[in-house]
């Protein structure tokens, strides 16, 4: 192995570049030095101003009433909330009719899964952009834009589908009636 000249055993010594730094860098350091000399003992004041600005920015970002108060002081109207999502009544009735037919045949798991899949399609159409294929139903149930009522109902339907599809559990008529009632109550305002 030592006879093979293509294998390197000794590393050459590092020789630093002895060229002087560029003129612009020297001028920058010179200007920085003059600034530090000019500020002198004012660094403490600058530090406290920077801390105060950081705290004010954090409060502004994290505390919504402060943003609203400032918007009112500046004469701007606070942003209205995002439009609420509710499925179209005609589509919801058609979905419930189709799911009722499956449930009448005793296919409760398929009926609940149909409501889940159509709800995902409705959410996708409402958002106006396709959902990423990597999103699970649980991910969709955690969307902040969904109204709280929709999020809770959707999460219960997701749990029922997971229990039947992945855990091998059977959904009963009671499970179906609860899922149907939740969906009808949300989509149509009735039970």
Instruction: State whether 107 and 148 are in the same domain.
Output: yes
Does the pLDDT at position 144 exceed 80? Answer: no
Q: How many domains does the chain have?
A: 2
What's this model's pTM, rounded to 2 decimal places?
0.52
pLDDT of the residue at 166: 80
Domain membership of residue 166 (yes or no) is: yes
Domain membership of residue 50 (yes or no) is: yes
Instruction: State whether 100 and 56 are in the same domain.
Output: no
Domain that holds residue 43: 23-73
Give me the chain's average pLDDT, please. 80
Q: How many CB atoms lie within 10 A of CB 109?
A: 21
Instruction: State whether 111 and 156 are in the same domain.
Output: yes
Domain membership of residue 54 (yes or no) is: yes
Instruction: State whether 29 and 103 are in the same domain.
Output: no
pLDDT of the residue at 27: 94
Give which of 158, 113, 115 is closest to 139, Cα–Cα.
158
pLDDT of the residue at 53: 94
Query: Distance between CA 25 and CA 28 in Å, rounded?
Result: 5
Instruction: State whether 100 and 54 are in the same domain.
Output: no
Instruction: State whether 36 and 127 are in the same domain.
Output: no
Domain membership of residue 38 (yes or no) is: yes
> Which of 96-105, 126-135, 172-181 is predicted with the least confidence, judged by mean pLDDT?
126-135
Domain membership of residue 128 (yes or no) is: yes
Give yes or no for a contact between 102 and 110, defined as CB atoms under 8 angstroms apart: yes
Work out the average pLDDT over 95-121.
87
> Which of 41-45, 107-111, 164-168 is predicted with the least confidence, judged by mean pLDDT?
41-45
Instruction: State whether 100 and 50 are in the same domain.
Output: no
Domain membership of residue 108 (yes or no) is: yes
Does the pLDDT at position 108 exceed 70? Answer: yes
Instruction: State whether 104 and 171 are in the same domain.
Output: yes
pLDDT of 153-186, one tens digit each? 888 888 888 888 888 788 888 888 888 888 888 7
Which tokens hold the place of 22?
A: 């560029």
Domain membership of residue 5 (yes or no) is: no
pLDDT of 63-92, one tens digit each? 878 777 777 877 765 555 545 566 777 888
What's the burial of 110, exposed, middle or buried (CB within 10 Å: 0-12/13-18/19+)?
middle
Give yes or no for a contact between 103 and 173, defined as CB atoms under 8 angstroms apart: yes
pLDDT of the residue at 52: 95
pLDDT of the residue at 191: 45
Domain membership of residue 152 (yes or no) is: yes
Query: Distance between CA 145 and CA 81 in Å, rounded?
Result: 9
Query: Distance between CA 79 and CA 140 in Å, rounded?
Result: 24
Instruction: State whether 181 and 95 are in the same domain.
Output: yes
């Amino acid at each position: 192995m030592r006879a093979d000249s293509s294998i390197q055993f000794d590393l050459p010594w590092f020789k630093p570049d002895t060229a002087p730094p560029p003129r612009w860098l020297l001028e920058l350091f010179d200007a920085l030095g003059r600034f530090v000399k000019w500020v002198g003992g004012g660094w403490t004041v600058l530090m406290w101003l920077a801390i105060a600005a950081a705290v004010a920015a954090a409060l502004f970002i994290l505390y919504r009433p402060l943003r609203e108060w400032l918007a009112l002081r500046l004469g701007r109207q606070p942003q209205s909330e995002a439009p609420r999502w509710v499925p179209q009544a005609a589509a919801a009735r058609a979905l419930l009719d189709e799911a009722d037919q499956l449930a009448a045949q005793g296919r409760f798991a398929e009926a609940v899964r149909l409501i889940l899949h159509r709800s995902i399609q409705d959410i996708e159409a409402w958002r106006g952009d396709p959902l990423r294929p990597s999103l699970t139903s649980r991910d969709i149930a955690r969307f902040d834009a969904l109204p709280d009522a929709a999020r809770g109902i959707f999460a219960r339907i997701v749990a029922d589908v997971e229990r039947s599809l992945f855990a091998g559990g059977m959904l009963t008529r009671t499970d179906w009636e609860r899922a149907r009632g939740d969906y009808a109550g949300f989509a149509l305002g009735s039970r």
